[in-house]
C-alpha cells in the first residue's frame, strides 16, 4: 500500500476511471442487446408496411374512406333487396315458431295440418281427392326423422299459407301440392327422396344462384277458371311472405257452352247495336263459352336468407373501416 500513500489522489482517480469504464461497458452491452431487438422489430414492421403498401388498393386513409362509403352503399342496396324480396316484411321467428321436439310431436303437427287443410277445402267448396294428405303421404303413420324435422316444419307452415291463398281464390278442384325433394348433400351419400308428394325442380333456380339466398320449392296442381288463377297469383305476389313464381303451366281441361247444347246468337248480345239485329242468323250464330276450366301447374319458391353467407360478406366489407 506504499504506492497508495505516495500518490493517493492519482491512484484513487485511476480506480474511479477504471470503475466508470467497467460500468460503461456493462451499460453499453445492455443497450446493444436492446438495439438488436429494435433492429429486428424495425425490419419486421418495415416488411409488414411494404406488404400493406403493395396491396391493391393500398390501405391509405383516402382508400379506407372510399371503402366505408362503398360498404354503406352495399348495405343500403342489400336492405332494398331484402325489402323487394319480402325478406324484411315478416317476422320469420313468429311465422315459423319453434320446430317440434321429436318425431312424435312432428307427426301430430302434420296430422293437424292435414285436418285443417281438409276443413278449409270443405268450407271453401273446393273439390279434393279423397284421402288427400296435402303433400305429406310419407308421414301418414309415422313422423319424420330427427334430422328432417326442421325442414318439414318449415314446409308445413309455408304450405298452410299456400293452401289458404289457393282455396280463397275460387278454384273448383284441388289436385295436389308437392314438395321439392331434398337436394343431395355431397358429403352424405344417399338417394334423394321420391314419391307422389315430391318433385324435382327442373333447371337452375335463379334465387339459389346467389350464395346469400336459398329457397324451398313447391308445386301446386289445381283446376279452375283463369280468374281463379289470377286471384291466386295476386294473393301470392301481394303477400308479405317472400314467394317467387318459378313456372306456370296450363292445360285446357274442358269447355261447356251456356245451356244444354244451345248456341247463343250474337244478336242476343246486349252490346250489339239494334241496327245489326237483322243479320242472317246462320252467319251470326257463334258458340259463347260461359265456362272454361283449365288444369294449372304452378311452381314457386319460398326465399330464405342464408345468414352465415351474409355475415361473412358483411365481415369482409367491414374490414375496410378498421385501423391499419
Domain that holds residue 25: 2-82
Residue 324 located in a structural domain: no
Task: Give the pLDDT confidence score for residue 219 in this predicted structure.
Answer: 95
**Could you check whether the bond before residue 57 is cis, i.e. omega within 30 degrees of 0?**
yes
Give tens-digit pLDDT for 112-133: 999 999 999 999 999 998 889 9
- Mean pLDDT for 159-177 is 95
Supply 65's cell numbers. Answer: 374512406
For the chain, the average pLDDT equals 78
Same domain for 146 and 28 = no
Euclidean distance between CA atoms 264 and 288, whole angstroms = 7
Q: Looking at the structure, do residues 40 and 184 belong to the same domain, yes or no?
A: no
Length of the chain: 324
| Domains: count for the chain | 2
Burial of 106: CB neighbours in 10 Å, binned 0-12, 13-18, 19+ = buried
Lowest-confidence pick of 17-21, 43-47, 246-250, 260-264: 260-264
Cell of 249: 303451366
What's the CA dihedral at 262, 264, 268, 274 to 10 degrees?
Answer: -130
Q: Is residue 273 part of a domain?
A: yes
> pLDDT tens-digit profile of 71-89?
888 878 877 777 777 777 7
147 within a domain of the structure (yes/no): yes
Same domain, 76 and 132: no
The answer to whether the CB of 168 falls within 8 A of the CB of 160 is no
User: For residue 317, what is the enclosing H or E element?
Assistant: helix 307-318
C-beta of residue 171 within 8 angstroms of C-beta of residue 234: no
Looking at the structure, tell me whether residues 117 and 54 fall in a common domain: no
pLDDT of residue 77: 81
State the CATH number of the domain containing residue 183: 3.30.70.60
Cα gap 206→246, rounded to integer Å: 9
pLDDT tens for residues 188-212? Answer: 544 555 567 899 887 777 677 777 7
Residue 173's φ and ψ, nearest 5 degrees, are: -150, 135
Query: At 132, phi and psi to the nearest 5?
Result: -60, 140
Contact 253, 195 (CB under 8 A): no
Please tell me the predicted confidence (pLDDT) of residue 223. Answer: 94
Helix (H) or strand (E) holding 174: strand 173-180
The last residue of one of the domains, among 82, 114, 140, is: 82
323 within some domain: no
Work out the average pLDDT over 281-287: 45
Q: Examine the domain organization and report whether 96 and 188 are in the same domain.
A: yes
Domain shared by 115 and 66, yes or no: no
Is the four-CA dihedral 257, 258, 261, 263 of positive or negative sign?
A: negative
Asked whether the predicted pLDDT for residue 135 surpasses 70, the reply is: yes
> What whole-number distance in Å separates Cα of residue 32 and Cα of residue 39?
10
CA distance 143 to 170: 32
- The whole-number pLDDT of residue 59 equals 66
Same domain, 11 and 23: yes
In this prediction, residue 267 carries a pLDDT of 41
Domain membership flag for residue 138:
yes
The pLDDT of residue 207:
76
Strands 289-305 and 243-257: antiparallel
Q: Residue 322 falls within a domain, yes or no?
A: no
Cα–Cα distances in Å, from 170 out to 39, 124, 222, 227, 231? Answer: 83, 8, 11, 8, 8
321 within a domain of the structure (yes/no): no
Amino acid at each position: 500500500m506504499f504506492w497508495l500513500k505516495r500518490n493517493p489522489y492519482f491512484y484513487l482517480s485511476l480506480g474511479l476511471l477504471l470503475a466508470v469504464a467497467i460500468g460503461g461497458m456493462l451499460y453499453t452491452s445492455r443497450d446493444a442487446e436492446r438495439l438488436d431487438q429494435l433492429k429486428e422489430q424495425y425490419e419486421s414492421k418495415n416488411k409488414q408496411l411494404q406488404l400493406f403498401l403493395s396491396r391493391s388498393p393500398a390501405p391509405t386513409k383516402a382508400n379506407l374512406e372510399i371503402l366505408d362509403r362503398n360498404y354503406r352503399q352495399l348495405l343500403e342496396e342489400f336492405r332494398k333487396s331484402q325489402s323487394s324480396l319480402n325478406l324484411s316484411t315478416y317476422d320469420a321467428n313468429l311465422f315459423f315458431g319453434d320446430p317440434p321436439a321429436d318425431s312424435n310431436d312432428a307427426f301430430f303437427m302434420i296430422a293437424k295440418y292435414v285436418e285443417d287443410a281438409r276443413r278449409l277445402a270443405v268450407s271453401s267448396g273446393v273439390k279434393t281427392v279423397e284421402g288427400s294428405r296435402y303433400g305429406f303421404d310419407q308421414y301418414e303413420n309415422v313422423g319424420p326423422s330427427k334430422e328432417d324435422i326442421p325442414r318439414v316444419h318449415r314446409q308445413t307452415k309455408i304450405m298452410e299459407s299456400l293452401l289458404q291463398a289457393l282455396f280463397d281464390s275460387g278454384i273448383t278442384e284441388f289436385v295436389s301440392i308437392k314438395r321439392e325433394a331434398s337436394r343431395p348433400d355431397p358429403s352424405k351419400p344417399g338417394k334423394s327422396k321420391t314419391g307422389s308428394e315430391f318433385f324435382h325442380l327442373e333447371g337452375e333456380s335463379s334465387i339459389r344462384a346467389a350464395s346469400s339466398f336459398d329457397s324451398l320449392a313447391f308445386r301446386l296442381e289445381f283446376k279452375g277458371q283463369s280468374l281463379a288463377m289470377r286471384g291466386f297469383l295476386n294473393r301470392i305476389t301481394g303477400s308479405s311472405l317472400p314467394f317467387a313464381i318459378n313456372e306456370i303451366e296450363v292445360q285446357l281441361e274442358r269447355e261447356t257452352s251456356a245451356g244444354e247444347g244451345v248456341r247463343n246468337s250474337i244478336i242476343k248480345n246486349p252490346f250489339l247495336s239494334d241496327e245489326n239485329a237483322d243479320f242472317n242468323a246462320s252467319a251470326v250464330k257463334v258458340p259463347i263459352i260461359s265456362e272454361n276450366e283449365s288444369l294449372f301447374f304452378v311452381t314457386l319458391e319460398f326465399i330464405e336468407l342464408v345468414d352465415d353467407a351474409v355475415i361473412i360478406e358483411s365481415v369482409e366489407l367491414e374490414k375496410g373501416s378498421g385501423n391499419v
